[in-house]
Amino acid sequence: MQNNPDQFSSKIGFVLAAAGSAVGIGNLVGFPVAAAKNGGGAFLLLYIFFVVAICLPLILAELSLGRATGKSPLGAFREISKGHKGWVLAGALSLVTPFMIAVFYSVLTVWLLGYLVLVLGGMLDQLATPVYFGGFITSPWIFAYLAAVIAMVIFVLKGGVRDGIEKASRLLMPMLFIMLIGLAVFVLTLPNAMAGLKFYFTPQVDRITWSVVNGALSQAFFSLSLGMGILITYGSYLRKQDNLVQSAKMLACTDTGVALVAGLMTLPAIFAIYPNTNPSELSDSSVGLIFSFFPNIFMAMVPKFGYAVSSLIAATFFLLAFVAAITSLVSIIEVPVAALKAESKKTRNAALGFVIAAVSVGAIFSALSFGQVKWLSEFAFYSGANKSLFDVLVDVFYDTILPFNGLLICLLVVWQWKRHNMAAEMLNNNGSSGWLERYTHFAIASWIPVILATVFVITVINKFMS
Ligand code: PHE
């Protein structure tokens, strides 16, 4: 089926679409900040180790599961386990996870669009005032931006796999790479940028604690779009003749490469403008950094470059982050759409309409959890603090469930599918088995599940029971 619109048209089409999913706010901001705070070069090495030793085998497992069954997570879990109830439930978790992540990620995407529009409207100076962000996220404007983001997602997903997701990625991803490299080169020419680089690359092994290890693993899962059912779904759109192992390697390299380059942009920018920065004092959340700290960095460029040029640089940054975010959002909403379409035998558009309506309601709730509505703002209480709905979704689905879903995938492959079936699917059209296939075969049934189970238990205790 050379021209099936429900499949990616080529390996490169797949890699761009999967990179569209993987490259997101996590790469552009989450990764550089985590690296700066948690031991610079030591964090970097730890992160790369997790990507190769744990995530790559799981990328292969998810893609093979998807391609072998031709289904999204729920269908794939059901088919592989021959309808076993427990496993169908696990498949359902792989559906709830992307939905919940979509709910909080769409709010971040909305804020990015808002800041892009405001910078273009000449309001950079106001964005840089400390109170602006708090006012912005509680203003009714949010809903207008939400409507715009949802409209863009519908526009892409309505086109289906090849003419929607792949086409948008082919256009947007090269644009993203150019903006990222342009900004990194610009930042590296600023005086004092080298102090940022030094910080980025110097390994401080004493900073590596348990929570740093856990953070590096969650970050790697989130960044590679693992444990969200996305790669199972995208695997089901891969052609049988495309080389799955090479695609997985290209995906991991692109995503990690973007994260590393984003570090070359973010940290030197911070040091160039604030030479006395102590990175361990950087805001804990990427959110605080993007929306409160960065506008200040751009404003600090005004004496040198003028207001218009500084605003243009700021706009490029927010456009970059917005493009990264919207391509990720598209991929995560595709998972429940594909599943609903298959389960209910509805048309794609009907499934899309239903999922979009549900995500919009969820997004409105989480957008209202910043003080506007009390029960949403004080949604739960743990770790000695009130947590908003937004915080709960991040803690549960980003920090805790992603590695757990990874564990379920390992167990499904080893106990139900059997590793030789996975090997056969991976190797389809790939000649003989290379180091990665051999390593995956061993690791997925041994230490990967052990590590993931340990991380899950310790995270639950640390996060929710202390
Ligand atoms: N990989 C994305 C990032 O790094 C995370 C993500 C993927 C979020 C897909 C939503 C959907 O930001």
Backbone angles phi, psi at 40, to 5 degrees: 50, -120
**Distance in angstroms (rounded) separating the CA atoms of residues 364 and 111:** 13
Q: How much is the mean pLDDT over the chain?
A: 92
pLDDT (tens digit per residue) in 76-130: 999 999 999 999 999 999 999 999 999 999 999 999 999 999 999 999 999 999 8
Spacing of C-alpha 188 from chain mean position: 26
Band (pLDDT 50/70/90 cuts) for residue 202 is: confident
Of 341, 333, 349, 347, whose CA–CA distance to 165 is shortest? 333
* 199 or 54, which is more confident: 54
Of 251, 196, 301, whose CA–CA distance to 60 is shortest? 251
Q: Report whether residue 262 contacts ligand 1, using a CB cutoff of 6 Å.
A: no
**Arithmetic mean of pLDDT, 165-177:** 96
pLDDT score recorded for residue 229: 95
Q: With b meaning 16 or more CB within 10 Å and e meaning fewer, what string describes 39-75? A: bbbbbbebbbebbbebbbbbbbbbbbbbbbbbbbbbb
- The answer to whether the beta carbons of residues 430 and 255 sit under 8 Å apart is no
Residue 289 makes CB contacts below 8 A (sequence gap 6+) with 29, 33, 282, 283
pLDDT score recorded for residue 48: 96
Average the pLDDT over each of 87-96, 211-220, 330-339 and give the range with the smallest value: 211-220
Q: Report whether residue 105 contacts ligand 1, using a CB cutoff of 6 Å.
A: yes
| C-alpha of residue 155 to centroid of ligand 1, in Å | 19
pLDDT score recorded for residue 140: 95
Band (pLDDT 50/70/90 cuts) for residue 421 is: very high
Q: Report whether residue 199 contacts ligand 1, using a CB cutoff of 6 Å.
A: no
Neighbours of 265 (CB within 10 A): 24
Q: Report whether residue 332 contacts ligand 1, using a CB cutoff of 6 Å.
A: yes
| C-alpha of residue 126 to centroid of ligand 1, in Å | 29
Residue for token pair 């992160």 = 47
* 97 or 198, which is more confident: 97
pLDDT score recorded for residue 429: 59
Mutation to probe ligand 1, out of 328, 366, 398, 402 (largest number of atoms < 8 A from CB): 328
pLDDT score recorded for residue 278: 75
**Arithmetic mean of pLDDT, 397-405:** 91
Task: For ligand 1, atom 2, name the residue with the nearest CA.
Answer: 24
pLDDT (tens digit per residue) in 244-270: 999 999 999 999 999 999 999 988 988
| C-alpha of residue 325 to centroid of ligand 1, in Å | 7
Residue 374 makes CB contacts below 8 A (sequence gap 6+) with none
Mutation to probe ligand 1, out of 105, 397, 399 (largest number of atoms < 8 A from CB): 105
pLDDT score recorded for residue 5: 83
pLDDT score recorded for residue 1: 45
Q: Is the pLDDT of residue 446 over 90?
A: yes
Output the six-digit token pair for 61: 């497992």
Task: For ligand 1, atom 3, name the residue with the nearest CA.
Answer: 24
**Distance in angstroms (rounded) separating the CA atoms of residues 382 and 45:** 32
Q: Is the pLDDT of residue 373 over 80?
A: yes
| C-alpha of residue 414 to centroid of ligand 1, in Å | 27
- The answer to whether the beta carbons of residues 150 and 172 sit under 8 Å apart is no
pLDDT score recorded for residue 430: 60
Quote the percentage of the chain above a pLDDT of 90: 76
Q: Is the pLDDT of residue 426 over 70?
A: yes
Q: Which pTM does this prediction carry? A: 0.94
| C-alpha of residue 402 to centroid of ligand 1, in Å | 12
pLDDT score recorded for residue 200: 87
pLDDT (tens digit per residue) in 128-151: 998 999 999 999 999 999 999 999
Task: For ligand 1, atom 9, name the residue with the nearest CA.
Answer: 328
**Arithmetic mean of pLDDT, 373-394:** 93
Q: Is the pLDDT of residue 197 over 50?
A: yes
Mutation to probe ligand 1, out of 21, 59, 149 (largest number of atoms < 8 A from CB): 21
**Distance in angstroms (rounded) separating the CA atoms of residues 87 and 79:** 10
| C-alpha of residue 119 to centroid of ligand 1, in Å | 24
